Chain A
């Protein structure tokens, strides 16, 4: 197999950022072979900042987020690499240590709030439970806290709705309740996994606004996992584009949107519907299907779908491109020479967006 991508930071060095993920690999042994869901992912995130992780289904976004929270079953997942949270390494830490951080220091908002909330308990019970597991407080105090939280996320009549069951809430309110639950212990790291995918468009905007306000209020680090570039454009400071379990492009949101350099990112941008475009103009979907995570294509994982593969004899089919700095703090994993990428983007891609 190929050698792991060279790290920008030496493995033993102390972390610089609040959250630092180094060469994270999450593999699942199955009967069909080893599934490499995440294969050498590194990134940094500071408090008060928002990182958008984008990519297709199966690119390893959710697996990464569950990996940071330590939610993978150690019996069927092999996790390696390092995850530094506020100076503490989590991959090698005991499950009990990670459990104590979970819900308190780092919390998660899940995609579908109906299935993510337990139908057998009231919304209040579930928030109170999340709070009391990490704080020694009486039930009435925790209940007041829960009502406060529901009020803060914009649920009307929180003192009454606290005793409702999830099925008595509307979709948007459920997601608000879910957010209230994840905020119950003032987490410093918040991971939102497709927080708006299951919601109506109008509700989506409200939830995004709410998350932006709350992030400012709590000064937390936010990881926003989505396949919706519109959501990323709305909230994220930095963007990390994942493909086949690896990072293919990473940088400030503005740079990634305005000067994307990886052909896969171009494909994502081209697939995004826009209101200001002529209706008859066709979207530019990425050809082909996502790669197998068991037997990934040799060389660059994206080469079977890349229209520029092997151009001018670059070794796309044989050599794995490394994530190297491009311009302005931007990192790209592509064999195309930077000058050529810029040229293609300005000449062929940007006019169609």
Chain B
């Protein structure tokens, strides 16, 4: 209730922002903690409940040929017989502070963040994740740029020419984009553009950006477009719906009444409101894909995080799967934080706090 007289002193904006950021950061860390518990429970508690034993886990490390004595010995050494909270604590401590692993002949130091050792090849998980990250990052950043530009511009044009041939054609193609799975469009585009016409790389190849930018783009162009097609379709539909809504707002009429050229009315006054929901889903989409664009990477055999996760799942390599899961969770929580901050910038009515 704002009474008459001078306004009550309100804290200055920077103060609000800092408090807000602090609170959101703590929230993000707590969220990650919960995710880690759930992840740990799924991979360690559920198998035990389902009738497995710590020997089953240990057996994956020592291989099929090992005797039961060696398996029991490994289980003891890796701490699989300890109470679950202790095991969880050790896993968490590994991520935060690093850990020592007794893998048999020697004890190895696994520096933080330590996601453990692969069951299969006994290599530490984290360096492998770091190795795969640039591939996924390249794929996602490129595709996201394409789908954002293409989706938003097609959506805007469709909304402005609602009911036109362009609108119908674009929305028809968009419906296709939303409905067709990557492994279909991906394989189809490989057949046509790579094996048929020979315009693009046949997949399963990745060149780091810094090594050869042209080759990097050449290798990735087909996966970019394929992945972007799916998302551009969704974004075009969302942008079109948003634009149809904002362009019928009263303030658009005001903007026209001021004598602004139509282009300016659309780009400055119409698009601004339509973009707000786009920002939200863009953050979430990108962060989810950062944890591995599983289908795209599999279809094009790109050695990214998604492919890594799939391979880990098929070989039942738990530490790898948990590593990718935690990394994805980190990206999603982090992206949510960024989206919320950006939201405050995009929409002045959003109050921080």
List A residues at the B interface (Cβ < 8 Å): 66, 69, 71, 99-104, 107-108, 110, 112, 115-122, 129-130, 133-134, 165, 167, 178, 181-182
User: How many contacts A-B (CB < 8 Å)?
Assistant: 70
- Is B259 at the interface (CB under 8 A from chain A)? yes
Is B260 within 8 A of A116, CB to CB?
A: no
**Cβ-neighbour of A165 out of B249, B258, B272, B349 (below 8 A):** B349
Given contacts A102-B258, A107-B258, A165-B348, 8 further A-B contacts (CB under 8 A): A100-B259, A108-B257, A118-B272, A119-B251, A119-B273, A119-B347, A120-B346, A130-B258
24 residue pairs of the A-B complex, CB under 8 angstroms, read A99-B259, A100-B259, A103-B259, A107-B257, A110-B254, A115-B250, A115-B251, A116-B250, A117-B254, A118-B251, A118-B269, A120-B272, A120-B346, A120-B348, A122-B348, A129-B258, A130-B259, A133-B259, A133-B260, A133-B264, A134-B259, A165-B348, A167-B348, A182-B257
Give the docked Cα–Cα distance between A182 and B260 (Å): 13
Give the docked Cα–Cα distance between A130 and B259 (Å): 8
Closest to A71 in B: B256
Contact with A along B146-160 (1 / 0, CB 8 A): 000000000000000
**Cβ-neighbour of B251 out of A71, A100, A116, A182 (below 8 A):** A116
Size category, B interface: 20 to 34
Give the docked Cα–Cα distance between A108 and B251 (Å): 12
Chain A residue contacts of B257, Cβ below 8 A? 69, 71, 102-103, 107-108, 110, 182
Is B348 within 8 A of A119, CB to CB?
A: yes
Is B251 within 8 A of A104, CB to CB?
A: no
Give the docked Cα–Cα distance between A103 and B260 (Å): 8
Is B259 within 8 A of A101, CB to CB?
A: yes
User: Contacts A99-B259, A133-B260 known; A116 to B254 CB distance under 8 Å?
Assistant: yes
How close is A62's CB to chain B, nearest CB, in angstroms? 11
- Most chain B beta carbons < 10 A, residue from A104, A117, A130: A130
How close is B163's CB to chain A, nearest CB, in angstroms? 10
Is A118 within 8 A of B256, CB to CB?
A: no
Give the docked Cα–Cα distance between A134 and B258 (Å): 9
- Is B284 at the interface (CB under 8 A from chain A)? no
Chain A residue contacts of B264, Cβ below 8 A? 133
Chain A residue contacts of B254, Cβ below 8 A? 110, 116-118, 178, 181
B residues 230-281 touching A (CB-CB < 8 Å): 249-251, 253-261, 264, 269, 272-273
